[in-house]
Amino acid sequence: MTHNDIVQKLWNLCDVLRDDGINYSDYVTELVLLLFIKMEHENKEAGLLKKHALPKGGRWVDINSKSGLPLLNTYKQILLNLSQSDDGLIAAIYADAQTRLREPQHLDQMV
């Protein structure tokens, strides 16, 4: 995937966020919260991590395995759980994290 492909993909995700009424200033926050979970998964799959940095129940497979309202509700709970993680770094990254997404199909598109 080229740099331009990545940029285009991120702009497409911003379009999804806009369609859900998310403000331009909140795009980065929404993308980072989800991308961190995805990147942790990708790094573990690639063997770059010896163990998962995120706790069970807060990983990409927990998000990727659902759709619709169950996905949105699970994602909201994951953000809350990660903000209360025993791992100080994870807790700091997700401190006060919450999604502003309201429509489950928009989260489906992002995932």
State the pLDDT at residue 72. 97
3-110 maps to CATH 1.10.10.10? no
The percentage of the chain sitting over the pLDDT mark of 70, rounded to a whole number, equals 100
C-alpha 111/C-alpha 105 separation (Å) is 10
C-alpha 32/C-alpha 36 separation (Å) is 6
Q: Which two tokens stand for residue 76?
A: 């909201």
- Give 93's contacts (C-beta < 8 A, 6+ positions apart): 36, 82
Q: What is the pLDDT of residues 26-79, one digit of tens each?
A: 888 899 999 999 999 999 999 999 999 999 999 999 999 999 999 999 999 999
Q: Where are the domains of the chain?
A: 3-110
* pTM, rounded to two decimals: 0.86
